[in-house]
């Protein structure tokens, strides 16, 4: 099987090159006992929104950490992306790397509608402490069988209040509230939605 991370990286580069945003900035984060996580930052041609994409989470399938022998081929794989307006916030790359490392560190399976609460500001001065995952506009990365395709999930930063709302009402209700309130989830200084 070809190198998974190289395949994912090429797929992500193709996606953003087609959108006119090539030559990403790159940062890497390593946590004790885990593989290195790379965070790519792509700026939109207009410069308003930047897209941060993890490369590293998909190196291994996600699965039950209680299983003694992990299956090296079968099981879901994912990477995560965050889109934000303005300059790169200090600490965001590390938080995105922490999110991407949660399958290896905590045995979590990253999937659409999952709420991952880091319980600490996602970047310096941020009111957001958690990510709500959903489908991104980056297509799945097909790998040779029997490996599963890699899904690139959009991670939306949310506040503790919004995280509580997601736990109570669900991810779709939170997205509906954002739409009704006209909330721009790419705005790093946005107010929290106040669902009724």
**Predicted confidence (pLDDT) per residue in 108-156, tens digit:** 999 999 999 999 999 999 999 999 999 999 999 999 888 889 999 999 9
- Its pTM stands at 0.92
CA–CA dist 145, 177 (Å, integer):
40
Residue 190 domain flag: no
Task: Compute φ and ψ for 56, nearest 5 degrees.
Answer: 150, -35
Residue 79 lies in a domain: yes
Mean pLDDT of 179-190: 92
CB 64 within 8 A of CB 166: no
Report if residue 37 sits inside a domain.
Answer: yes
The percentage of the chain sitting over the pLDDT mark of 90, rounded to a whole number, equals: 69
Count of the separate structural domains present in the chain: 1
The mean per-residue pLDDT over the stretch 42-51 comes to 87
Mean pLDDT taken over the chain: 90
Peptide bond into 146 cis (omega under 30): yes
Domain-located, residue 173: yes
pLDDT the model gives residue 66: 56
Residue 32 included in any domain: yes
Query: Which pair of structure tokens corresponds to residue 23?
Result: 């030559």
Mean pLDDT, rounded, for 36-62: 91
- Lookup: tokens for 88: 């790169």
Structural domain including 133 reads 4-181
Residue 196, in any domain of the structure: no
Contact 157, 192 (CB under 8 A): no
- Which of these, 8, 43, 7, lies nearest to 23 by C-alpha position? 43
């Amino acid at each position: 099987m070809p190198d998974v991370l190289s395949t994912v990286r090429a797929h992500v580069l193709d996606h953003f090159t087609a959108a006119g945003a090539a030559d990403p900035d790159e940062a890497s984060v390593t946590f004790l006992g885990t593989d290195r996580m790379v965070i790519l930052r792509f700026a939109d041609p207009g410069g308003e929104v930047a897209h941060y994409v993890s490369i590293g989470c998909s190196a291994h399938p996600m699965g039950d950490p209680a299983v003694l022998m992990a299956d090296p081929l079968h099981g879901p794989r994912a990477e995560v992306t965050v889109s934000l307006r303005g300059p790169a916030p200090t600490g965001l790359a590390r938080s995105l790397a922490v999110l991407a490392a949660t399958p290896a560190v905590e045995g979590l399976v990253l999937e659409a509608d999952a709420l991952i609460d880091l319980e600490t500001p996602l970047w310096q001065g941020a009111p957001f402490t958690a990510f709500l995952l959903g489908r991104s506009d980056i297509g799945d990365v097909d790998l040779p069988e029997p490996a599963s395709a890699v899904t690139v999930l959009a991670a939306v930063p949310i506040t503790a209040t919004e995280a509580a709302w997601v736990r109570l009402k669900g991810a779709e209700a939170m997205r509906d509230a954002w739409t009704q309130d006209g909330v721009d989830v790419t705005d790093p200084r946005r107010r929290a939605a106040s669902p009724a």
